[in-house]
Amino acid sequence: MLDTIRRGFERFGFVPVETPVFELSDVLLTKTGGDTEKQVYFVQSTGALKQSDAGADKRPELALRFDLTVPLARYVAEHEAQLNFPFRRYQIQRAYRGERNQKGRYREFYQCDIDVIGKDQLPLAYDAEIPAVIHTIFRELAFGPFTIRLNNRKLLRGVLGALGVADDRQEAVLHEIDRLDKQPRAEIEARLTGEGFGLEPGSVGKLLDLLTGHRGDARGAFAALRRLDSNPVLVEGIAELEYVYDGTLALGVSEKALQVDLAIVRGLDYYTGTIYETLLDDHPRLGSICSGGRYDNLASHYTKSKLPGVGISIGATRLFSQLLELDLVGGRGSVAHALVLAVEPALAAECARLAAELRDAGLNIEVYGGDDKLGKQLKYADRSQIPLAVLYGSRERDAGIVKLKDLRAGAAIREHDVPRGDLVTRVKQLVG
């Protein structure tokens, strides 16, 4: 799965970056509020540990990265002078959070991120490319049909403005909208019209109708948005979303797999324009398995340059464990395509040559060591899920053949006597 993701990223010319697992605690915690800080793993070598016994409650100097975004920001700020912008990097590494070990929560997990970072500005064309990358990868992963959902934060702000929600209340209202997937609409409507918000029932109804009424009907959504009282943020938001939607279609993503969904919000304040979510059509309860968006400034804490970017992230560990549970992916089975059995010690060198020939043809070949009985060797192959056993004893040598035993449950023919010269071709036909 990680290989497929990596290949997909590289197909679009993203460059791999790996960063150290340690970040300075001060860098890591510049931006984050209380919740993330509770989950950070701090690190101390034995020496440092002793010193801190004296100094008491000083925070350790190093901590483990809890995502790949902070390391990216630190990396880009640090290497700004050498980088070639727009800088396109992918990063597939583990991140760490000090959570209790429980279902769906991991203390150590793989993240697979791509981002394109511009200097001063970044064309919207890159916002259209991100879903095309994701589309390529999820098609190849073949977890079943999926939908990439698109929205735009500016557009959401514009809509709220058009419906009379004051700027300083918009974030709180978006927070409520974000719950539309999880809570009954009536509850959210009640809160928005209740004391806390005090919005007009008419506006709230219109807002929720607009945001939820056009899923899968992008043109209808754009038309409805254009009927609102206009404001500059709204106009910009509509233009951006329409550009990204059309641009993504032009990159070969099918209309079925791409959906404008005005009700997605993405929790983080971080995003400022385009936002993405990805759902498996047959498993909506998994939620978004791949999310991201456009941000105005990646690294404001570390550099004065303005570095706008757009990116997306696949939480591979969580996704894989969910798919395992649903039986949508299996274990990997055996690495080896075949096991060469140890039949007669005198033929060990010739068996080694068979193995080398098969390896040269790109097959993964294991050779059994020692002189166990053939039954035990075959049992080992079976338990290791190796599909094919290669048997070459003096009887085979004298006949100029090699015996292949197909060990797979469904094999129609169990044994094949193949001419020595056809070995590679036949093994490739069977298991290559």
Residue ranges in 47-86 that form contacts with its own copies under rule CB under 8 A: 47-49, 53, 56-57, 60, 64, 84, 86
Q: Which of 352, 414, 415, 429 binds its own copies (CB under 8 A)?
A: 352
Angle at 283 between CA 278 and CA 287, to 5 degrees: 45
279 strand-pairing partners: 147
Burial class of residue 34 in the structure, from the number of CB atoms within 10 Å of its CB (0-12 exposed, 13-18 middle, 19+ buried) = exposed
| Subset of 303-322 contacting its own copies (CB under 8 A) | none
Cβ closer to its own copies: 57 or 195? 57
Q: From the CB of residue 257, how many other CB atoms can be counted at a distance below 10 Å?
A: 19
Query: Which of 294, 310, 307, 309 is CA-nearest to residue 119?
Result: 307
Cβ closer to its own copies: 24 or 190? 24
* Phi, psi dihedral angles at 300 (to 5 degrees): -60, -20
Query: Which of 335, 270, 321, 320 is CA-nearest to residue 141?
Result: 320
Helices marked H in 96-200? 125-141, 153-162, 167-177, 185-193
Q: Which of 252, 375, 400, 410 binds its own copies (CB under 8 A)?
A: 252
Chain-centroid distance of CA 69 in Å reads: 14
SS3 403: strand
Cβ closer to its own copies: 133 or 174? 133
Q: What is the nearest approach in angstroms of its own copies to the Cβ of residue 326? A: 22
Cβ closer to its own copies: 170 or 385? 385
Number of residues that bind its own copies (CB under 8 A): 72
Q: Is 336 in the site for its own copies (CB under 8 A)?
A: yes
Cβ closer to its own copies: 20 or 267? 20
Q: Is 359 in the site for its own copies (CB under 8 A)?
A: yes
Q: Is 40 in the site for its own copies (CB under 8 A)?
A: yes
* Phi, psi dihedral angles at 126 (to 5 degrees): -70, -30
Cβ closer to its own copies: 86 or 158? 86
Cβ closer to its own copies: 256 or 353? 353
| Subset of 83-102 contacting its own copies (CB under 8 A) | 84, 86, 88, 94, 96, 98
Query: Which of 246, 238, 264, 239 is CA-nearest to residue 132?
Result: 246
Q: Is 46 in the site for its own copies (CB under 8 A)?
A: yes
One-letter amino acid at 306 equals: K
Cβ closer to its own copies: 224 or 348? 348
Contacts within 8 Å (CB) and 24+ apart, 10-16:
10/90, 11/133, 11/136, 12/88, 12/114, 12/129, 12/132, 12/133, 12/136, 13/88, 14/88, 14/89, 14/90, 14/114, 14/133, 15/88, 15/89, 15/90, 16/89, 16/90, 16/91, 16/92
Site string for its own copies, 360-399 (x = CB under 8 A): ---xxxxx-xxx--------x--xx-x-------------
Q: Is 125 in the site for its own copies (CB under 8 A)?
A: yes
Q: What is the nearest approach in angstroms of its own copies to the Cβ of residue 16? A: 7
Q: Is 222 in the site for its own copies (CB under 8 A)?
A: no
Q: What is the nearest approach in angstroms of its own copies to the Cβ of residue 13? A: 3
Residues whose CB falls within 8 Å of the CB of residue 258, separated by 6 or more in sequence, listed in order? 131, 135, 147, 148, 150, 245, 248, 249
| Subset of 145-204 contacting its own copies (CB under 8 A) | none
Q: Which of 24, 172, 250, 268 binds its own copies (CB under 8 A)?
A: 250
**Angle 2-11/125-141 helices, nearest 10 degrees?**
140
Cβ contact 188:177 at 8 Å: yes
Q: Is 255 in the site for its own copies (CB under 8 A)?
A: no
Q: Is 130 in the site for its own copies (CB under 8 A)?
A: no
Q: Which of 31, 107, 139, 179 binds its own copies (CB under 8 A)?
A: 107
